[in-house]
Amino acid sequence: MCEFNIIIVSILKDKVRPVFPFTAIVGQEEMKLALLLNVIDPKIGGVMIMGDRGTGKSTTIRAIADLLPKIEVVQDDIFNSHPSDYDLMSDIVKTQVGRGDNVPTRLIDVPMVDLPLGATEDRVCGTIDIEKALTEGIKTFEPGLLAKANRGILYVDEVNLLDDHLVDILLDAAASGWNTVEREGISIRHPARFVLVGSGNPEEGELRPQLLDRFGMHAEIRTVKEPSLRVKIVEQRSKFDSNPYTCLQEFQEQQDKLKSSIVAAQNRLSDVTIDYDLRVKISEVCGTLDVDGLRGDIVTNRAAKAFAAYNERAKVHINDIKAVIILCLRHRLRKDPLETIDSGNKVQQVVNNILNS
């Protein structure tokens, strides 16, 4: 083995646990696209992934987190505060920066936090030590999962089985970018900017329409039926399980290329524009489908811009809208909790009538 390869393998072995490479995942294009667009623009609002058991939902979500470049955080800060972006700082760091203090930083992997089904509200939001606050006048905060997930990804497997109250808290934090904990008149607020990813099996029930609507995108995945593709997936997984570091080395170039594309898209995103007539067509589609509220319009505009940025364009094309609009709208058509989510055929028919006219 040459010296270069030895170095790569050595670096890879420093990882606590090897993660299956994102670029090695075969099929499931809807899920992969939805995740990519959400990491390019977290303001899309997260993604709900529904599909059969054993279709690689968890593997893909962990793979996208492992693919992302390291982020700079303030050293010893429990909220992963950004050293220069005011909106991503905790109050303590804001005070330090305001005083002109030297704020040491370090690079960390993008946080990937799993929320267990049995989690309590205190575990999710964090807790305040009331006794210490009352006796010593010191606000002592024990951070929860929302603090740890700041500037990263919060993954909830079987989100459709999670208590609605907790889902509401997660969605509120994801939408506002902040988490507020209040106990006995004492309040602590901290940044909680994360990509919320929920997954589940539709056989175990769907989320209520009111909660489902607040996820930016909805991806459906199905078990692959084509024999040759199933064989390829099994071979890929077996290769990784038998020798993960060799597999990671094999896909290193593709991983690096995709990582560069994501960073470039994030930097390009703010300059991407969408013409007025295309915005009107998006709203016309939403109106024709009787989508409640304006969340569908907003998310589709954001997703189309992210898709254009990913494809190195400064202006949204009509094909960018066609590529993302089903992911953004299909879950917003369900009005009755007893209804099933449209597979996308209804959205596709309206899109063909309006966008092709």
- Does residue 60 sit in the same domain as residue 165? yes
Residue 236 lies in a domain: no
Which residues constitute the domain of residue 192?
28-222
Q: Which of 193, 222, 251 is the last residue of a domain?
A: 222
CATH of the domain at 33: 3.40.50.300
Are 176 and 308 members of one domain?
no
Q: Is residue 345 part of a domain?
A: yes
Residue 336 confidence (pLDDT) above 60: no
For residues 154 and 145, the answer to whether their CB atoms sit within 8 Å is yes
The answer as to whether 16 is a domain residue is no
* Residue 312, domain CATH: 1.10.8.80
Number of domains in the chain: 2
**Lowest pLDDT segment from 50-59, 171-180, 344-353:** 50-59
- Each residue's pLDDT tens digit, 41-54: 988 989 999 887 77
Find out whether 284 and 353 touch, Cβ atoms under 8 Å: no
- Average confidence (pLDDT) over 251-280: 93
Distance CA 106, CA 155 (A): 24
Beta pairing, strands 194-200 & 152-157: parallel
Residues 194, 141 contacting (CB under 8 angstroms):
no
pLDDT digit string, tens, across residues 26-44: 878 889 999 999 999 988 9
- pLDDT-derived band at 4 (thresholds 50, 70, 90) equals very low
Shared domain for 172 and 40, answered yes or no, is yes
Could you tell me if residue 313 is inside a domain?
A: yes
Which residues are marked as active site? 295
pTM greater than 0.75: yes
pLDDT of residue 343: 61
pLDDT tens-digit series, residues 137-195? 666 778 889 999 999 999 988 888 888 888 888 888 888 888 888 777 777 888 888 98
